[in-house]
Chains A and B, each alone.
Chain A
Amino acid sequence: MNNSKLTAMAASMMLLFSNSMYAHRAWILPSATVLSGADKWVTVDAAISNDLFYFEHHPMRLEGLIVYAPDGSTVKPESPNTGKYRSTFDVQLTQQGTYKMAIATQSVFATYELNGDVKRWRGAEANLKTEVPANAQKLQVNRMTQRIESFVTAGKPTRTVLTPSNKGLELWPETHPNDLAAGETAKFALLLDGKPAAGVAVTVVPGGNRYRDNLKEVHVKTDAAGKFSIPFAEPGMYWLNATVASEGSRSSYIATLEVLPQ
């Protein structure tokens, strides 16, 4: 089998995978993002759907879910459950400040030839070397990372959980994600492996599209410093998505942001 056919297979595998993840929208949706009082709870939905924010397609799997407390420690979510169309979990906000919930996944795809047969492999980075035979030929590896986040604040917003991990594509929110209000423009930036990600296309879609014809999505591109602004005219839940693709790699970031009325 020649190289171009192998490349085509690798590309179609990427497309196959991307159809299941990117033709639909993945999201984490907390029951509230701004809370007052001590020891309050939030219930969080996680789903992959067509319409925002309705769970009508697939639940998000909760492996890879990490909940960060305001002091930077991780918190075990309570009552996790994966049902037919959504997963849910609860978090008690025992600290004042900003919590972050993130589901980060990485998948590695490989195509190679072994004794004239084309083989495909999909798995975790750690298993790539052990599960793909050493004598594999024409090995092509594609890595896909996805980070899905949302933010919840009890009391005064804090920024500890907003510190970037410097891995993959992530948001640097100059405007605090739990300080968004209708009529105000939020300022954000994107980082790729800790460095400003310039020229990246960002899409923001308001929720509730089941009840309107026009999607009303906003498209912006990050500038040379990786920065972008989103004017939030109306209150509501918004889905933010950005993807960076290069040779053998695709990195995606998704956030659910709540914009409150004035």
Chain B
Amino acid sequence: MRKRIAALLAAVPATSLAANLALTIEIPKVTVAEYHRPYVAMWIEKPDQTFAANLAVWYDTRPKTTDNGTTWLKDLRQWWRKSGRELTMPADGVSGATRPPGIHNVVFANGKGIQPGSYLLVVEAVREVGGRELIRIPFEWPAKSTVSTNGKTELGAITLTVKP
């Protein structure tokens, strides 16, 4: 059965319909007097670090904030330069609320439409009156793989799973 499916998949162009990109992102618990949930951006780059696609941006979308939290998007420095400053936020399918400390699972169907090839997953986090951290993980799309790495300060364990 597996051989048959593999043969079938081989015959189909590689932008397969069932493939997805699954991320596990840990937001570390930080014990400080003034804690704010970090702004986090995740996106895909080509190996030369040029922008390929947005995955998600978690920022303060609460309606009672005066500017809808957009004032601090530019602190996601790499994301802002690569993509953010061209977007109108909130952006459909990309914007989301900030998340608390803990492990968060996100799945992106179709890898957001990227073509087969080599890519970098980029995750950037910045915390108000805190620090900033950026992590890049290379991966092949849509090759089955699981890659893990650990942030040091504003990001914890990050696992990228490609499910073709």
Inter-chain contact A34/B74, CB cutoff 8 Å: yes
Inter-chain contact A155/B85, CB cutoff 8 Å: yes
29 residue pairs from A and B, CB less than 8 Å apart: A34-B74, A34-B80, A35-B71, A35-B74, A36-B70, A36-B71, A36-B72, A36-B73, A36-B80, A36-B84, A36-B85, A37-B67, A37-B68, A37-B70, A37-B71, A37-B73, A38-B67, A38-B70, A40-B71, A155-B85, A156-B85, A156-B86, A157-B85, A179-B81, A181-B81, A260-B77, A261-B77, A262-B77, A262-B78
- Identity of the chain A residue whose Cβ is nearest the Cβ of B89 in the assembled complex: A36
Q: Which residues in window 5-55 of A have CB below 8 A to B?
A: 34-38, 40
Q: Which B residues touch A36, using CB under 8 A?
A: 70-74, 80, 84-85
**Given A36-B74, A37-B71, A37-B73, 18 new contacts (CB under 8 A):** A34-B80, A35-B74, A36-B70, A36-B71, A36-B73, A36-B80, A36-B84, A36-B85, A37-B67, A37-B68, A38-B70, A155-B85, A156-B85, A156-B86, A157-B85, A179-B81, A261-B77, A262-B77
A34 to B80, CA, bound (A): 10
A261 to B131, CA, bound (A): 13
Q: Which A residues touch B85, using CB under 8 A?
A: 36, 155-157
A32 to B67, CA, bound (A): 17
Q: Which A residues touch B72, using CB under 8 A?
A: 36
- Identity of the chain B residue whose Cβ is nearest the Cβ of A157 in the assembled complex: B85
A156 to B78, CA, bound (A): 14
Count how many chain B residues have C-beta atoms less than 8 Å from C-beta atoms of the other chain. 14
A262 to B133, CA, bound (A): 11
**In the assembled complex, how far is the CB of residue A209 from the closest CB belonging to chain B, in whole angstroms?**
25
Using an 8 Å CB-CB cutoff, how does the interface string of B19-57 with A read, 1 for contact, 0 for none? Answer: 000000000000000000000000000000000000000
Interface residues, chain B, CB within 8 Å of chain A?
A: 67-68, 70-74, 77-78, 80-81, 84-86
Interface residues, chain A, CB within 8 Å of chain B?
A: 34-38, 40, 155-157, 179, 181, 260-262
**In the assembled complex, how far is the CB of residue A15 from the closest CB belonging to chain B, in whole angstroms?**
44
A132 to B68, CA, bound (A): 60
**In the assembled complex, how far is the CB of residue B50 from the closest CB belonging to chain A, in whole angstroms?**
14
A35 to B80, CA, bound (A): 10
A181 to B80, CA, bound (A): 12
- Identity of the chain A residue whose Cβ is nearest the Cβ of B132 in the assembled complex: A261
A261 to B75, CA, bound (A): 11
Q: Which A residues touch B81, using CB under 8 A?
A: 179, 181
- Identity of the chain B residue whose Cβ is nearest the Cβ of A96 in the assembled complex: B85
A130 to B111, CA, bound (A): 74
**In the assembled complex, how far is the CB of residue A139 from the closest CB belonging to chain B, in whole angstroms?**
54
**In the assembled complex, how far is the CB of residue A97 from the closest CB belonging to chain B, in whole angstroms?**
10
**In the assembled complex, how far is the CB of residue B87 from the closest CB belonging to chain A, in whole angstroms?**
9
Most chain B CB atoms below 10 A, which of A37, A38, A156, A157? A37
A38 to B72, CA, bound (A): 11
- Identity of the chain A residue whose Cβ is nearest the Cβ of B88 in the assembled complex: A155
**In the assembled complex, how far is the CB of residue B134 from the closest CB belonging to chain A, in whole angstroms?**
8
A156 to B72, CA, bound (A): 15
A260 to B72, CA, bound (A): 15
A34 to B79, CA, bound (A): 13
- Identity of the chain A residue whose Cβ is nearest the Cβ of B78 in the assembled complex: A262
A40 to B74, CA, bound (A): 12
A157 to B85, CA, bound (A): 8
Q: Which A residues touch B80, using CB under 8 A?
A: 34, 36
Q: Which A residues touch B68, using CB under 8 A?
A: 37
**In the assembled complex, how far is the CB of residue B24 from the closest CB belonging to chain A, in whole angstroms?**
26
Q: Which B residues touch A34, using CB under 8 A?
A: 74, 80
- Identity of the chain A residue whose Cβ is nearest the Cβ of B69 in the assembled complex: A37
A35 to B84, CA, bound (A): 11
- Identity of the chain A residue whose Cβ is nearest the Cβ of B76 in the assembled complex: A36
- Identity of the chain B residue whose Cβ is nearest the Cβ of A153 in the assembled complex: B85
